[in-house]
């Protein structure tokens, strides 16, 4: 069944007990939490995702977000993320429990899923080809990703590009799109009907809110995509929209430095990364207007591969 | 899978006039800019060349004048290639 089909009281009851089993891309997760923010966040943003009873299904990751077991919880409520009983992060204020779950799931994938070369980059797909969007924070990557997936591109991931080490294909991990600071209002104005949850203030990343992943992207979360482009977006106030080719070797170096497990994979990481660059066109992309950026990406997607 | 040249214990992958090298022993990855790659290729093709011959060949290959400055640059680049173990120490 889909998560949205479960009544909220039942979801809370199961979450607080053994937890719920949920499928996200190639991974299954068992989530357990007694914090209402988490149940609420899941209902709002994971409604289209498949869930099952935890008694019936194997889970790759067993995670929980709960109040830490310290006296501090009575003074200033906090939440702590747990993975297989470990606490990889310090507790955060309780109202950041849902973003903490999101960050924790990203951490699980990026530290455990070594069957993929995992690059810190958003990735979207159209006409069978994927555009990988690596960029440092503040570059407008999340805004562009959200704009593209609200305009006909398929969301593969807003944060983790999973490259299959055997096939070179990109596996989707469509989860809520993390929007930060000004990009929250930009996307609200761009698509007034899209669901963006309540913003969490004063997080380590500033103000953070999550946009619901498009239903079609979730439905197709098991369809891999062929790499088409590696595009470095940069939002630049007043700049004309411009796509310029960039060095493949330098792009390789950037991806290697921004992969979570390139060093861990050793020689295979090099070979998978080199194969990726062989298959893709590499660009720098400057933009200031989201609608023009989407037109530029659409033109790229409509150009037959060389 | 990519067409990667094996230079045991290293892997070299070229794109146009640039390349990346993976050192299996250290796990390090290096970027070779056009001048560095050109010099590296000349060294591989002519292992007995002295510095002046390398500089002359490099000037021809990358289309610049054979000057004392280029010879200094060649010497520095050779040192860098030795530092990442792409060339053996003289």
Tell me which residue of A180, A208, A203, A176 sits closest to A22, measured CA to CA. A176
pLDDT tens digits, A98-126: 999 999 999 999 999 999 999 999 999 99
Q: What is the pLDDT of residue A293?
A: 97
Other C-beta atoms lying within 10 Å of the C-beta of residue B11:
20
Three-state SS string over A62-84 comes to EEEEECCCCCHHHHCCEEEEEEC
**How far does chain A reach from its first CA to its final CA, in angstroms?**
43
Whether omega for the bond prior to residue A23 falls within 30 degrees of 0, making it cis, is: no
Q: Is the pLDDT of residue A131 over 90?
A: yes
pLDDT tens digits, A143-155: 999 999 999 999 9
The tokens for B29 are 């990855």
Helix (H, G, I), strand (E, B) or coil at A286: strand
Residues of A in contact with B32 (CB under 8 A): 249
Listed as ranges, residues in chain B with pLDDT below 70 are 1-8, 89-90
Q: What is the mean pLDDT of chain A?
A: 93
Question: Is residue B10 within 8 Å of residue B17, measured between CB atoms?
Answer: no
Q: What is the pLDDT of residue A233?
A: 96
Q: Is the pLDDT of residue A83 over 70?
A: yes
Q: Which of A52-56, A237-241, A279-283 has the weakest average pLDDT?
A: A52-56
Q: Where are the alpha helices (DSSP H) in chain B?
A: 34-45, 51-62, 68-83
Burial category of A170 from C-beta neighbours within 10 Å (exposed 0-12, middle 13-18, buried 19 and up): buried
Residues of A in contact with B31 (CB under 8 A): 249-250, 252-253
The tokens for A38 are 């988490």
**Is A274 at the interface with chain B, CB within 8 A?**
yes
CA–CA separation, A49 and A202 (whole Å): 29
Q: Is the pLDDT of residue A95 over 70?
A: yes
Q: How many percent of chain A have pLDDT more than 70?
A: 98
Residue of B nearest to A168 (CA): B1
- Render the burial of A279-304: b for 16+ CB within 10 Å, e for the rest: bbbbbebbbeebeebbebbbebbeee
Q: What is the pLDDT of residue A62?
A: 95
Q: Which of A45-49, A163-167, B29-33, B84-88 has the weakest average pLDDT?
A: B84-88
**Is A305 at the interface with chain B, CB within 8 A?**
no
Say if strands A170-171 and A200-203 run parallel, antiparallel, or are unpaired.
Answer: unpaired
Question: Is residue A253 within 8 Å of residue B29, measured between CB atoms?
Answer: yes
Complex-level ipTM: 0.87
Interface contacts A/B by beta carbons within 8 Å: 54
Helix (H, G, I), strand (E, B) or coil at B11: strand
Assign A66 a pLDDT band (cuts: 50, 70, 90). very high
Residue of A nearest to B23 (CA): A267
Phi, psi of A81 (to 5 degrees): -90, 140
**How far does chain B reach from its first CA to its final CA, in angstroms?**
35
Residue range A76-88: mean pLDDT, rounded: 89
Q: What is the pLDDT of residue B1?
A: 46
Q: What is the pLDDT of residue B78?
A: 94
**Is A139 at the interface with chain B, CB within 8 A?**
no
């Amino acid at each position: 069944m889909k998560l949205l089909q479960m009544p909220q009281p039942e979801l809370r009851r199961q979450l607080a007990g053994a937890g719920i089993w949920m499928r996200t891309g190639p991974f299954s997760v068992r989530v357990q939490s007694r914090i209402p923010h988490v149940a609420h966040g899941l209902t709002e943003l994971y409604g289209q995702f498949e869930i099952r009873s935890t008694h019936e299904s194997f889970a790759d990751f067993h995670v929980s977000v709960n109040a830490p077991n310290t006296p501090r919880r009575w003074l200033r409520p906090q939440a702590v993320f747990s993975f297989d009983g470990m606490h990889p992060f310090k507790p955060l204020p309780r109202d950041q429990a849902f973003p903490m779950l999101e960050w924790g799931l990203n951490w699980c994938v990026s530290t455990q899923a070594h069957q993929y070369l995992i690059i810190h980059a958003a990735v979207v797909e159209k006409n069978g080809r994927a555009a990988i969007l690596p960029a440092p924070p503040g570059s407008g990557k999340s805004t562009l990703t959200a704009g593209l997936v609200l305009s006909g591109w398929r969301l593969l991931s807003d944060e983790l590009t999973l490259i299959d080490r055997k096939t070179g294909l990109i596996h989707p991990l469509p989860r809520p799109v993390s929007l930060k600071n000004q990009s929250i209002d930009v996307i609200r104005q761009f698509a007034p009907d899209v669901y963006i949850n309540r913003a969490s203030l004063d997080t380590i990343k500033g103000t953070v809110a999550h946009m619901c992943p498009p239903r079609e992207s979730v439905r197709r979360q098991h369809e891999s995509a062929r790499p088409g482009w590696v595009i470095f977006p940069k939002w630049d106030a007043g700049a004309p929209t411009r796509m310029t080719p960039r060095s493949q070797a330098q792009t390789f170096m950037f991806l290697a430095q921004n992969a979570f497990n390139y060093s861990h994979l050793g020689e295979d990481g090099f070979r998978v990364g080199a194969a990726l660059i062989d298959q893709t066109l590499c660009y720098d992309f400057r933009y200031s207007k989201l609608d023009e950026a989407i037109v530029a990406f659409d033109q790229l997607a409509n150009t037959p591969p060389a | 899978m990519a067409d990667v040249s094996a230079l045991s214990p290293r892997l070299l992958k070229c794109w146009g006039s640039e390349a990346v090298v993976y050192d299996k022993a250290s796990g390090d990855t290096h970027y070779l800019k056009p001048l560095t790659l050109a010099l590296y290729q000349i060294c591989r093709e002519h292992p007995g060349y002295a510095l002046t011959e390398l500089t002359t060949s490099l000037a021809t290959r990358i289309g610049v004048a054979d000057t004392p400055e280029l010879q200094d640059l060649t010497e520095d680049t050779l040192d860098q290639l030795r530092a990442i173990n792409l060339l053996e120490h003289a």
